[in-house]
Amino acid sequence: MQKETAWCNLKASELRQLATENAIVVVPIGSIEQHGPHLPVQVDALLAGEVCRRAAEYMADSVPVTVTPTIWSGLAEHHMSFGGTLTLDFDTFRSVIRCICRSIQQHGFMRIALINGHGGNIAALTVISAELTLELNATVACATYWHVAEKEFNNILEAQQTVRHAGEAETSMLLALRPDLVDQQVIGTFEPPTDGLGAENGVYRWRPIKDWSDSGVIGVPTAATAEKGVQLLEAAGKALATQLANSTIWRD
């Protein structure tokens, strides 16, 4: 029988027991933001939660673990011009994560993993996880799921490397997980750029995504398939489970 790993499905007494077992608490973090004409705004939150759920199931028999509900809103100001996006500012984002981690630590958990599913959260989570490790005297690690599974993703993807925005990878995973939310009729009716949102010649400055893409998409959604999505989700879950079970991450 599969062990229950979802924090919200467990009783308080079961969570107290997990704390005595030095369980890892996984906190998925996503975003609600536009994902072009063909994908729903919940992509990042949905995928972060799904990858974390799978990772916990893969490792639950060997490592005590539980997954909190997804923090569904992140830093997405760069998507606001397309509509549909619900963003936080940095101070609020940090405060929400701090309050949740502080609650987790006060219940006796000393290993917390912030698992990200949105590119706009990456830099902030690096800073926040460092601050919280010092403040809470607990290990607060962070990772972005496609970075953890970068090698596996590059072996699966054909038209682009790693995750872009509403491109081959995310569209494939949605086709595998929630095909009812994908408007396949509009894929191919627009021509998005294959890259964007990064530093230019080593210099970074903030820009809205509309400066790169008229559709709000970066990548190649026409290359997406449900079969790739199944492989990507499995690879991400297994890679994340392997890393979270790595004791060197949690060693003082």
CB 47 within 8 A of CB 172: no
pLDDT given for residue 168 in this prediction: 98
CB 165 within 8 A of CB 194: no
* Per-residue pLDDT in tens (0 to 9) along the chain, 252 residues: 789 999 999 999 999 999 999 999 999 999 999 999 999 999 999 999 999 999 999 999 999 999 999 999 999 999 999 999 999 999 999 999 999 999 999 999 999 999 999 999 999 999 999 999 999 999 999 999 999 999 999 999 999 888 999 999 999 999 999 999 999 999 999 989 887 666 567 888 888 999 989 999 999 999 999 999 999 999 999 999 999 999 999 987
Whether 243 is covered by a domain: the verdict is yes
pLDDT given for residue 198 in this prediction: 66
Whether 86 is covered by a domain: the verdict is yes
- Strand order across the beta sheet in which 111-116 lies: 65-67, 24-29, 111-116, 139-144
CB 187 within 8 A of CB 158: no
pLDDT given for residue 196 in this prediction: 67
Domain count, the chain: 1
pLDDT given for residue 252 in this prediction: 72
Whether 252 is covered by a domain: the verdict is no
pLDDT given for residue 197 in this prediction: 66
Q: CATH number of the domain at 20, please.
A: 3.40.50.10310
Containing structural domain, residue 158: 7-247
Where do the DSSP E strands lie in the chain? 24-29, 65-67, 111-116, 139-144
Whether 63 is covered by a domain: the verdict is yes
Whether 1 is covered by a domain: the verdict is no
Whether 239 is covered by a domain: the verdict is yes
Taking CA atoms, 218 is separated from 1, 148, 179, 194, in Å, by: 41, 21, 20, 5
pLDDT given for residue 199 in this prediction: 58
